[in-house]
Structure 1
Amino acid sequence: MLTVENLNVHYGAIHALKGISLHVEQGEIVTLIGANGAGKSTLLKTVSGLLKPSGGKIVFENQSIGGKAAQSIVKAGLSHCPEGRRVFANMTVEENLMLGAYLRKDRQGIKDDLDDVYKRFGRLLERKNQQAGTLSGGEQQMLAMGRALMARPKLLLLDEPSMGLAPLLVKEIFNIVQEINKTGTTVLLVEQNAHMALSIAHRAYVIETGQIVLSGSASELADSEEVQKAYLGG
């Protein structure tokens, strides 16, 4: 579904991604783990069109999307749920969700998807007329995920969904990620909580200083001594 080949990204003189290659098959949860500043968020931003690559290829469903405008990438079926939630604080929960469907014209489909989001995230329904800025961190994360789902993506890019959340909420968010995947959405997950990420993913890549250093099934990486030492506190 998604193929990234020899991807290079520069921030001015800084070479942030150095020849990264990876792939995501339809129906998978694939996770990227790595330390802060390793290039995980940069990779997602480049795939979703927020950053321009300086070299390499990004192909989504046989369509080259490297360097294309973000809105055309959303239209193609790829949604990005960014690090730090980025909800529109002065707009209501429902207004934030409707922005996720901005490019869609199918009124009934939008209404059905809004109902689905409210079913999946009951707390958002209770707070639908509340300003997004007044929500707790966990609720804002649910809102950011719900908004991304309103674009009806085939592939969801999720950046650090557990950041700053209490352990119980982290579990809830990861259960929801699994549910989203089971209902047919492919997921590329960037997550610092390597233990949780590997527990729900099918495959994983380890990224260090802008390069992929390890890849394999999630269970293989969870059992790897190297990964345990570096990321699982083993």
Structure 2
Amino acid sequence: MLKLNNVNLYYGVIHALKDISLEVEEGEIVTLIGANGAGKTSILRAISGLNPCRSGEVIFKGKSLNKVPAYKIVSRGISHVLEGRRVFSNLTVFENLQLGAYIRKDKAGIKKDYETIFEVFPILKERKEQPAGTLSGGEQQMLAIARALMVKPQLLLMDEPSMGLAPIIVQQIFNIIKEINEKGTTILLVEQNANMALSIASKAYVLETGRIVLKGSAGELLVNESVKSAYLG
């Protein structure tokens, strides 16, 4: 479904991604793990067009995304849940969801998807008329994920969904990620909580200073001694 071939990305003179090649198959949860600054977020931003790569190629469903502007990549079937939630705090929960569906014209389908979203995230139904800025951190994260799902993405990019959340909420968020995947959405997940990420992923890539240094099935990496000592505590 998704391939990165020798992708290089720069921020000014800083070489953030160095010949990154990876693959995400349809139906998978693939996770990227590594320390802060390793390049995990940059990979997601290269895919969604927020920071286009300088060289190499991003291919989605057999077509290059290199020259596609970010706002058009959404309509190709890729949705990006940014780090830090980034909800529209002055708008209501429901208005945030409406903005998630802005590229869609199928009114009946949109209405049905609101109902599905409220089944997966019942707290959002209770809060749907509240300003998003009044929600707790966990509720805002759920709203950010729900808004991204309103696009009906085939591939969902998720950047640090557990950041700053209490452990009980982290477990809830990861249960939701698994449920989304089981309903048919492919997921590329960036996550500091390597234990949790590897527990739900099918495969993983380990990054250090802009390079992939290790890849394999999530099960293999969970028992890999270097991964355990560096990331699993």
Q: Which residue does 1:17 correspond to in 2?
A: 17
Q: CA deviation at 1:120?
A: 0.4
Q: CA deviation at 1:37?
A: 0.8
Q: Which residue does 2:158 correspond to in 1?
A: 158
Distance 1:214 1:92 in 2: 42
Q: Which residue does 1:174 correspond to in 2?
A: 174
Q: Which residue does 1:103 correspond to in 2?
A: 103
Question: What secondary structure is seen at the aligned counterpart in 2 of 1:105?
Answer: coil
Distance 2:178 2:6 in 1: 29
Q: Which residue does 1:146 correspond to in 2?
A: 146
Q: Which residue does 2:193 correspond to in 1?
A: 193
Question: What secondary structure is seen at the aligned counterpart in 2 of 1:117?
Answer: helix
Distance 1:66 1:169 in 2: 36
Distance 2:129 2:174 in 1: 26
Structure 1, unmatched stretches of 5+, are: none
Q: CA deviation at 1:198?
A: 0.2
Distance 1:19 1:13 in 2: 16
Paired AA for residue 68 in structure 2 = K
- What pairs with 1:199-210 in structure 2 (closer than 5 Å)? 199-210=199-210
RMSD: 0.6
TM-score by length of 1: 0.99
Q: CA deviation at 1:70?
A: 1.2
- Contact 1:51–1:67 at 8 Å: present in 2 too? no
Distance 2:179 2:230 in 1: 29
Q: Which residue does 2:133 correspond to in 1?
A: 133
Distance 1:215 1:201 in 2: 12
- Contact 1:4–1:57 at 8 Å: present in 2 too? yes
Q: Which residue does 1:92 correspond to in 2?
A: 92
TM-score by length of 2: 0.99
Distance 1:161 1:185 in 2: 16
Paired AA for residue 117 in structure 1 = I
Structure 2, unmatched stretches of 5+, are: none
For residues 91-136 of structure 1, the C-alpha deviation after alignment (integer angstroms, 9 at most, x for no partner) is 0000001111110000011111111111100110000000000100
Question: What secondary structure is seen at the aligned counterpart in 1 of 2:180?
Answer: helix
Distance 1:114 1:5 in 2: 37
Structure 2 residue 81 is the aligned partner of structure 1 residue 81:
yes
Distance 2:175 2:94 in 1: 23
Q: CA deviation at 1:58?
A: 0.3
Q: CA deviation at 1:66?
A: 1.9
Q: CA deviation at 1:17?
A: 0.3
Q: CA deviation at 1:67?
A: 3.9
Distance 2:218 2:87 in 1: 31
Q: Which residue does 1:117 correspond to in 2?
A: 117
Structure 2 residue 49 is the aligned partner of structure 1 residue 49:
yes
Q: CA deviation at 1:162?
A: 0.3
Distance 2:3 2:43 in 1: 12
Identity %: 63
- Contact 1:158–1:190 at 8 Å: present in 2 too? yes
- Contact 1:33–1:204 at 8 Å: present in 2 too? yes
For residues 180-218 of structure 1, the C-alpha deviation after alignment (integer angstroms, 9 at most, x for no partner) is 000000000000000000000000000110000000000
Distance 2:5 2:88 in 1: 34
- Contact 1:53–1:67 at 8 Å: present in 2 too? no
For residues 130-153 of structure 1, the C-alpha deviation after alignment (integer angstroms, 9 at most, x for no partner) is 000010000000000000000000
